[in-house]
């Protein structure tokens, strides 16, 4: 296939239904961000290094530690993407171009890649779409911030945007429609999608958005004290790095292994205590230029009426997101039992370590655990608290802000509750708490090649996978996951009703699709728990929507 930068040569593979697809893996979409380009916005690649580039196998991922093996992997030369496209029947060539789905992987902005060990898109391809997965710079290499030295921050987000521009420029050659691109992502990838959705520089390059278990207003997304963190990292390498120029030179000279290895040492005691061990991540950029993605804080942006164009969005959470936090939390139940104030969100306007904060901690403990406290018998309740603290509360805030202020953008909300054979993260991490864990929905969209596990299409899990792929690709095709044209889905997914920005607090109702063994519509997921938090924010912040930055 001929693209702007040269010619790529891919491979033919077989789909589970017997059809054929073409895979073009490891396509470079930018100059390697090394040497003088380290930490900076990516530069477009003019030409490949060979006239015909072998894209039969994946190239390096962003340098990081593999979540499953704990081995170091990848390099700084990581800006590659993968294009997968269903083969056209030569006897019946289809003149219409296919919808394109571009996926941004999660991994706390610290690990992961777009590669097929976790994200092989055969089941999506069977629904008639082109899928693109990509790598972007992670950790300090992707999110260091030192504006005095020209490092504006968000290099990893700018990588994603350059990949979107590459898709816009080249995807027609692969049978994809550049005027129908859906940007979707999970966790940190979903928060990235949401930041692009709020960004006027990114908006022209996609037409629909899906945020799975992550939006930009969640507490774990935006970096605090980013410049001070950069200086701390440099001084861990060289205590003599006093001025910003010395800090910059130290970081430019450092080995990438050291840069990534020392990241966690920049975390504050409060970040560690709260279980938010994500040091380098997006920032609000100080100077606004043509490639500035985050010019204002997302909470502020969400309250600007009609900041979003007519881009429909699907967003939602899994009902047991917090189960993944129990890997760590289950080892320190007594710490949570004795210090519940660590679970007071930073977005609540109460001074940390104050008597009021301790009192609120006790109220949280009473609500979730009653008189039992935190112990082996109440780990399910602790998982619920983790779900709400990290995901649930601010997903509700985001949905309500969207309904009140973003009237041009239709929103479909979901709660994924299916707990079955393809809940691969729960399976691989051997977690036994009931519910759908963080990232568990991914294996109902993608094949996880590293797990070497599959189910038949007519098993309960196989049917949920077929339904999920249908909902997601319908949305990519039509901007509606259950269009009238598709009579094979048993339930109509209704969008969230828009309300006036000034409507009273109880005017907002969060309509959602419960994705379980069957599909059903509901209102206000985890209502009792979210109502408790609405009360907390009313007391301390005046309203649920006034989030302390």
Do 253 and 106 have their domain in common?
yes
Do 435 and 456 have their domain in common?
yes
Q: Does residue 92 or residue 392 have the better pLDDT?
A: 392
Classify residue 375: in a domain, yes or no: no
Backbone CA torsion sign across 328, 334, 340, 341: negative
Do 119 and 52 have their domain in common?
yes
Classify residue 339: in a domain, yes or no: no
Task: Indicate yes or no: pTM above 0.75.
Answer: yes
pLDDT of 272 reads: 85
Do 423 and 284 have their domain in common?
no
pLDDT of 288 reads: 86
Residues 6+ apart with CB under 8 A from 463: 457, 517
Of 64, 116, 187, 213, catalytic: 187
pLDDT of 89 reads: 64
Do 281 and 401 have their domain in common?
no
Classify residue 318: in a domain, yes or no: yes
pLDDT of 271 reads: 87
Structural domains of the chain, count: 2
Cα–Cα distance, 495 to 511 (Å, whole number)? 7
Cα–Cα distance, 513 to 162 (Å, whole number)? 33
Q: Does residue 493 or residue 272 have the better pLDDT?
A: 493
Q: Are 448 and 424 in contact (CB under 8 A)?
A: yes
* pLDDT tens by residue, 233-247: 999 999 999 999 999
Residue 520 has pLDDT above 70, yes or no: yes
pLDDT of 441 reads: 98
Cα–Cα distance, 439 to 186 (Å, whole number)? 7
Q: How deeply is 79 buried, as exposed, middle or buried, from its count of CB atoms within 10 A (0-12, 13-18, 19+)?
A: buried
Domain containing residue 149: CATH number: 3.40.50.1820
* pLDDT tens by residue, 146-195: 999 999 999 999 999 999 999 999 999 999 999 999 999 999 999 999 99
Cα–Cα distance, 481 to 471 (Å, whole number)? 5
Domain that holds residue 274: 1-303
* pLDDT tens by residue, 6-52: 999 999 999 999 999 999 999 999 999 999 999 999 999 999 999 99
Across the range 259-275, mean pLDDT stands at 89
Classify residue 135: in a domain, yes or no: yes
Cα–Cα distance, 486 to 177 (Å, whole number)? 21
Classify residue 338: in a domain, yes or no: no
Do 219 and 107 have their domain in common?
yes
- Residues forming beta bridges with residue 512, ordered by sequence position: 522
Residues 6+ apart with CB under 8 A from 139: 62, 63, 64, 109, 110, 259, 260, 263, 279, 280
Q: Is 226 annotated in the active site?
A: no
Classify residue 81: in a domain, yes or no: yes
Do 270 and 315 have their domain in common?
no
Q: Are 209 and 285 in contact (CB under 8 A)?
A: no
- Residues forming beta bridges with residue 413, ordered by sequence position: 315
**In terms of DSSP bridges, do strands 313-318 and 208-212 run parallel, antiparallel, or are they unpaired?**
parallel
Residue 91 has pLDDT above 60, yes or no: no
Q: What is the CA radius of gyration of the chain?
A: 23
Neighbour count for residue 535 (Cβ, 10 Å): 13
Q: Is 75 annotated in the active site?
A: no
DSSP letters spanning 337-378:
HH-GGGGS-TTSSS-TTSHHHHHHHHHHHHHHHTTS-SSGGG
Do 269 and 322 have their domain in common?
no
Residue 226 has pLDDT above 80, yes or no: yes
Cα–Cα distance, 121 to 126 (Å, whole number)? 9
* pLDDT tens by residue, 432-460: 999 999 999 999 999 999 888 899 999 99
Across the range 135-139, mean pLDDT stands at 97
Residue 483 has pLDDT above 70, yes or no: yes
- The sheet with strand 52-54 has its strands ordered as 2-3, 6-9, 52-54
Classify residue 297: in a domain, yes or no: yes
Do 299 and 444 have their domain in common?
no
Residue 409 binned pLDDT confidence (cut-offs 50, 70, 90): very high
**In terms of DSSP bridges, do strands 80-86 and 20-28 run parallel, antiparallel, or are they unpaired?**
antiparallel
User: Look-up: residue for tokens 């001025």?
Assistant: 243
Classify residue 40: in a domain, yes or no: yes
Do 194 and 101 have their domain in common?
yes
Of 122, 321, 400, 441, catalytic: 321
Do 293 and 312 have their domain in common?
no
């Amino acid at each position: 296939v001929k693209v702007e930068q040269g010619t790529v040569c891919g491979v033919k593979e077989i789909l589970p239904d017997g059809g054929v697809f073409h895979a073009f893996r490891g396509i470079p979409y930018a100059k390697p961000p090394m040497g003088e380009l380290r930490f900076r916005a990516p530069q477009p690649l003019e030409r490949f290094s060979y006239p015909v580039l072998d894209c039969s196998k994946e190239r390096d991922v962003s340098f990081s530690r593999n979540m499953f093996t704990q081995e170091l992997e990848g390099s700084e030369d990581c800006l590659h993407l993968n294009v997968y496209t269903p083969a056209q029947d030569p006897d019946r060539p289809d003149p219409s171009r296919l919808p394109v789905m571009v996926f941004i992987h999660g991994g706390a902005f610290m690990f992961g890649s777009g590669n097929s060990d976790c994200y092989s898109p055969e089941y999506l391809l069977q629904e008639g779409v082109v899928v693109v997965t990509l790598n972007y710079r992670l950790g300090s290499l992707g999110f260091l911030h030192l504006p005095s030295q020209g490092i504006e921050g968000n290099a990893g987000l700018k990588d994603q945007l350059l990949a979107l521009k590459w898709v816009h420029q080249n995807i027609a050659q692969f049978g994809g429609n550049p005027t129908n691109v859906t940007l979707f992502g999970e966790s940190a990838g979903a928060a990235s999608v949401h930041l692009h959705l709020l960004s006027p520089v990114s908006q022209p390059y996609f037409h629909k958005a899906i945020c799975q278990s992550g939006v930009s207003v969640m507490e774990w997304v935006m970096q605090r004290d980013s410049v001070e963190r950069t200086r701390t990292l440099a001084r861990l390498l060289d205590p003599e790095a006093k001025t910003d120029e010395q800090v910059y030179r130290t970081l430019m000279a450092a080995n990438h292994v050291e840069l990534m290895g020392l990241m966690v040492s920049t975390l504050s005691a409060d970040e560690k205590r709260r279980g938010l061990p994500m040091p380098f991540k997006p920032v609000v950029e100080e100077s606004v230029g043509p490639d500035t993605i985050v010019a204002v804080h997302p909470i502020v942006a969400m309250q600007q009426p009609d900041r979003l164009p007519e881009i429909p969005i699907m967003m939602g959470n899994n009902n047991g997101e917090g189960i993944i936090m129990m890997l760590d939390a289950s080892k320190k139940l007594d710490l949570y039992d004795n210090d519940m104030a660590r679970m007071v969100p930073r977005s609540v306007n109460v001074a940390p370590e104050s008597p009021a904060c301790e009192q609120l901690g006790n109220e949280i403990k009473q609500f979730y655990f009653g008189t039992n406290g935190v112990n082996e018998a109440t780990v399910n309740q602790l998982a619920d608290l983790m779900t709400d603290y990290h995901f649930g509360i601010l997903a509700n805030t985001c949905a309500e802000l969207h309904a009140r202020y973003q009237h041009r953008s239709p929103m479909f909300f979901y709660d994924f509750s299916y707990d079955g054979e393809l809940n691969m993260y729960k399976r691989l991490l051997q977690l036994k708490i009931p519910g759908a864990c963080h990232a568990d929905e991914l294996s109902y969209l993608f094949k996880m090649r590293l797990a070497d596990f599959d189910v038949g299409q007519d098993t309960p899990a196989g049917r949920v996978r077929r339904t999920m792929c249908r909902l997601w690709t319908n949305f990519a095709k039509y901007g509606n996951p259950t269009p009238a044209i598709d009579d094979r889905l048993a339930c109509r997914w209704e969008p969230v009703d828009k309300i006036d920005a000034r409507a009273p607090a109880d005017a907002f109702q969060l309509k959602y699709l419960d994705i379980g063994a069957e599909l059903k519509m509901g209102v206000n997921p985890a209502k009792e728990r979210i109502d408790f938090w609405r009360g907390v924010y009313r007391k301390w912040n005046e309203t649920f929507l006034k989030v302390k930055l």
